[in-house]
Structure 1
Amino acid sequence: MTTKKIDMGMFKGIVCGSRHLSHAEFERDIRKTASGFKALGVEPGDCVGIFMRNDIPFLLASHAANHVGAYPVPINWHLAGEELTYILDDCAAKVLVIHADLYRGIEAAIPEGVTCVLVETHEDLRQAYGLGRDACTVPKGLINWDQWLESLPVLEQPPIEGPSSMLYTSGTTGHPKGVRRKPLDAQMAARLRDFRSRFFGCTPGARCAVPGPLYHSAPNSFSMQASRISDLLVIIPRFDAEDMLRQIQEYRLTAALMVPIMFIRMLKLSDEVRARYDLSTLEFIVHTAAPCPIDVKRRMIEWFGPVINEFYGSTESSAVVACNSEQALTKPGSVGTVVPEAEIRILDEQGNIQPPNTIGEIYTRFPLLNFTYNGNPQARAEIEKDGFITSGDVGYIDEDGFLFIADRVKDMVISGGVNIYPAEIESVLHSYPGIKDCAVFGIPDEEFGESIMAVVEAEAGNEICVGDVKTYLRQHLAGFKVPRMIEVGDKLPREDSGKIFKRRLRDKYWQQVDRKI
Structure 2
Amino acid sequence: MTTIDKSTFKGIVCGSRHLTHEEFRQTMLRAATGFRHLGIEPGDCIGIFLRNDIPFVAVNQAASYIGAYAVPINWHLAGEELSYILQDCGAKVLVIHADLWRGIRDDIPEGVQCLVVETHEDIRAAYGLSPGDCEVPSGMVSWDKWLASHEPTGEPPLQGPASMLYTSGTTGHPKGVRRIPLAADEAKQMLDFRSRVYGCAPGARCMVPGPLYHSAPNGYGVQASRISDLLVIVPRFDAEDTLRLIEEYKLTAAMMVPIMFIRLLKLPEQTRSRYDLSSLEFVIHAAAPCPADIKRKMIDWFGPVINEFYGSTESGAVVACNSEQALAKPGSVGTIVPEADVRILDEQGNIVPANTIGEIYSRFPINDFTYNGKPEARAEIDRDGYITSGDVGYMDEDGFLFIADRVKDMVISGGVNIYPAEIESVLHNYPGIKDCAVFGVPDDEFGESVMAVLEVENEDGVSINEVTVYLREHLAGFKVPRSIVIGENLPREDSGKIFKRRLRDHYWEKAGRKI
- In which range does the TM-score fall when normalised by the shorter chain? 0.7 to 0.9
Counterpart pick for 1:51 among 32, 49, 52 = 49
C-alpha displacement of 1:313:
0.5
C-alpha displacement of 1:170:
3.7
Q: Equivalent residue for 1:329?
A: 327
Post-superposition Cα deviations, 1:68-103, rounded to whole Å, max 9, x if no partner, equal 110000000000122111100000000000000000
Secondary structure in 1 aligned to 2:356? coil
Distance 1:332 1:25, change over 3 A: same
> What are the residue-to-residue correspondences of 1:494-513 with 2, within 5 Å?
504=481
Q: Equivalent residue for 1:468?
A: none
Q: What letter matches 2:76 in structure 1?
A: H
Between the aligned partners of 1:377 and 1:224, the Cα distance in structure 2 is 27
Q: Equivalent residue for 2:266?
A: 268
Distance 1:170 1:190, change over 3 A: same
Secondary structure in 2 aligned to 1:368? helix
Counterpart pick for 1:29 among 27, 30, 33 = 27
Distance 1:105 1:172, change over 3 A: farther
The size of the alignment, in residue pairs, is 446
CA contact (8 A) 2:437 2:498 kept: no
Between the aligned partners of 1:512 and 1:42, the Cα distance in structure 2 is 55
Between the aligned partners of 1:34 and 1:305, the Cα distance in structure 2 is 42
Q: Equivalent residue for 2:112?
A: 114
Between the aligned partners of 1:451 and 1:179, the Cα distance in structure 2 is 25
C-alpha displacement of 1:162:
2.7
Secondary structure in 1 aligned to 2:365? coil
Secondary structure in 2 aligned to 1:169? strand
Between the aligned partners of 1:176 and 1:66, the Cα distance in structure 2 is 22
Secondary structure in 2 aligned to 1:392? strand
Between the aligned partners of 1:26 and 1:502, the Cα distance in structure 2 is 35
Q: Equivalent residue for 2:395?
A: 397
Q: Does 1:234 align with 2:211?
A: no
Between the aligned partners of 2:488 and 2:71, the Cα distance in structure 1 is 33
Q: Does 1:86 align with 2:46?
A: no
Q: Equivalent residue for 1:369?
A: 367
Post-superposition Cα deviations, 1:27-80, rounded to whole Å, max 9, x if no partner, equal 111100000001111110000000010000001111011111100000000001
CA contact (8 A) 1:373 1:380 kept: yes
C-alpha displacement of 1:182:
1.1
> What are the residue-to-residue correspondences of 1:51-450 with 2, within 5 Å?
51-171=49-169, 173-411=171-409
CA contact (8 A) 1:204 1:230 kept: yes
Distance 1:507 1:48, change over 3 A: farther
CA contact (8 A) 2:63 2:160 kept: no
Secondary structure in 2 aligned to 1:411? coil
Secondary structure in 2 aligned to 1:214? coil
Secondary structure in 2 aligned to 1:20? strand
Identity score, percent = 67
C-alpha displacement of 1:501:
6.1
C-alpha displacement of 1:504:
2.4
CA contact (8 A) 1:258 1:286 kept: yes
Between the aligned partners of 2:444 and 2:281, the Cα distance in structure 1 is 33
CA contact (8 A) 1:207 1:253 kept: yes
TM-score, with structure 1 as normaliser: 0.82
TM-score, with structure 2 as normaliser: 0.82
Compute the RMSD of aligned alpha carbons.
2.6
Between the aligned partners of 1:387 and 1:395, the Cα distance in structure 2 is 19
Secondary structure in 1 aligned to 2:373? coil
Between the aligned partners of 2:227 and 2:246, the Cα distance in structure 1 is 19
C-alpha displacement of 1:141:
1.1
Distance 1:501 1:363, change over 3 A: farther
Post-superposition Cα deviations, 1:292-316, rounded to whole Å, max 9, x if no partner, equal 1111000000000000000000111
Distance 1:450 1:245, change over 3 A: closer
C-alpha displacement of 1:508:
5.8
Between the aligned partners of 1:111 and 1:58, the Cα distance in structure 2 is 21
CA contact (8 A) 2:262 2:445 kept: no
Post-superposition Cα deviations, 1:104-155, rounded to whole Å, max 9, x if no partner, equal 0000110000000000000000000000100000011110011111111110
Q: Equivalent residue for 1:4?
A: 2
C-alpha displacement of 1:4:
2.4
Q: What letter matches 1:90 in structure 2?
A: D
Secondary structure in 2 aligned to 1:410? coil
Between the aligned partners of 2:218 and 2:147, the Cα distance in structure 1 is 23
Post-superposition Cα deviations, 1:379-422, rounded to whole Å, max 9, x if no partner, equal 0000000010001111000111100001111139xxxxxxxxx9
Show structure 2 runs of 5+ residues with no match.
425-435, 447-476, 491-495, 500-515
C-alpha displacement of 1:275:
1.1
Q: Equivalent residue for 1:40?
A: 38
Distance 1:186 1:450, change over 3 A: closer
Distance 1:207 1:324, change over 3 A: same
Between the aligned partners of 2:344 and 2:390, the Cα distance in structure 1 is 12
CA contact (8 A) 1:510 1:516 kept: no
Q: Equivalent residue for 2:428?
A: none
C-alpha displacement of 1:509:
6.0
Between the aligned partners of 1:314 and 1:287, the Cα distance in structure 2 is 13
Between the aligned partners of 1:503 and 1:142, the Cα distance in structure 2 is 32
Distance 1:510 1:224, change over 3 A: farther
Worse-superposed segment, 167-176 or 78-87: 167-176
Between the aligned partners of 1:142 and 1:157, the Cα distance in structure 2 is 29
Secondary structure in 1 aligned to 2:405? strand
Secondary structure in 2 aligned to 1:312? strand
Secondary structure in 1 aligned to 2:481? helix
Between the aligned partners of 1:156 and 1:102, the Cα distance in structure 2 is 33
Q: Which runs of 4+ in 1 moved over 3 A?
A: 170-173, 449-459, 500-503, 505-517
CA contact (8 A) 2:409 2:439 kept: no
